[in-house]
A and B are shown apart, each in its own frame.
Chain A
Amino acid sequence: MRPISSGGVPWLVTAMICGVATLAWSHHAAAPVFDMSAEKTLMGVVKQVDWTNPHIWIWLDVQNASGQVERWGLEGMSPNFLARRGWARTSLLPGMRITVTFRPLRDGKAGGMFMTGKLENGKILTSVGAE
């Protein structure tokens, strides 16, 4: 599990990404906290998933360049929104390896807004639904 530098990833469902960019989040504005013009990619192991309102939180253990494991937190939509669009509480479980794309936090901390995730079995989860 090494972090991948930001850049294009072929399996991205670009149409869905375009949809996400202007998705209205009733709870808070995304742009003040997340850099909506940036997209980063990480590989990690799911440590915990908070299937909670007002947002789900995906906590990943990610090995950094110097070999240390860092804890990353990614905010997704709500369980209410996602459960109607193909996600389930069990879509992501601790121990699963996942490659995620996200909008990074503007303050540079280890977190961001979840965009897409690709599981080892090829299943793709996006912030607006699951395949």
Chain B
Amino acid sequence: MTLAMRIALLLVTAVTISVAAQDSTPKPPAAADWAALAKLPDLTGVWEAPTVGRGGQGRAGGPPPVPELTPAYAAKKRELDARNSDDTEAANCLPTGMPAIMGHPYPYEFLLTPGKVTIVSEAYMQVRHVYTDGRPLPADPDPTFNGTSIGRWDRDTLVVETIGFSPLTTIARNTPHSDRMRIVERFRLTGPDTMSIDTTVIDPEALTKPWTTTRTLARHRDWTIREYICEENNRNFLDAQGKAGVKLDAPVKKE
């Protein structure tokens, strides 16, 4: 290849990359995009499960159904159950990831901006980024605790689809997921200040059928999200043998 040909090839490649980048770059929001938000159901504000602090967080009508596991994943669960760990790594301040992040006895703030819904979870100071600008889910996202999410509006319901989960997250206690796990959530206002969230976990390797649970949240217009640094003064721990404990060493010095 001559030098001229190499330069020509480089130029063509550069132009191609540039065009591709332009195609995938979201447009900046216009005034109409901000105005369109007013027509959507108003999910904004700070929400918390109404049962928090009043005896747990079971859903109305009894406890949620238990996920039905395939034989291979039932065996994995039995193996983990047999280790008889006292607790989870959350005791060591590791965030739970999806789907457990949506089950905390702490509030969530929902923010709507053009092309995006942002869910701020107070517990562990977590953020979920849900893109509603019409982009598809990536084919093979890097695995993360909260996964990669897109959302769309199905009339009055925000439907969020999430894939790509870290192997450090679980479907439920001692219940691992496969890399094919997909979670579909349906967020819907059921009253002026109540929202219902139907969460369906789909995992053809781990579950014999999709597992759906429902949680209701109540809006608190007068609340704000507070800081939550788990490492600030965490005296709880789970050791490598699965034994939980509490450290009673010298308290944080105030003087």
Contacts and interface: CB of A to CB of B under 8 A. Distances in A.
Interface of A: 18-19, 21-29, 32-33, 48, 50, 52-55, 57, 59, 73, 75, 78-81, 83-85, 105, 107, 109-111, 128-129
Contact of B104 (A26, A52, A105, A109): A26
B208 interface: no
B219 to A, nearest CB: 14
Closest A-B pairs by Cβ, 7 of them: A32-B86, A52-B233, A28-B91, A26-B104, A32-B244, A22-B56, A28-B236
B153 interface: no
A29 B86 contact: yes
A27 B226 contact: no
Contacts of A48: 251-252, 254
The A contact surface, by secondary structure, is: loop
B216 to A, nearest CB: 15
B246 interface: yes
Contact of B245 (A23, A27, A75, A107): A107
- Chain B, interface size: which category? 35 or more
A29 B55 contact: no
Contact of A29 (B87, B93, B122, B228): B87
Contact of B246 (A19, A53, A80, A111): A111
Given A27-B230, A111-B246, A80 B122 contact: yes
Interface string B51-89: 011111100000000000000000000000000001110
Contacts of B105: 23-26, 81
Interface string B202-238: 0000000000000000001001001111101111101
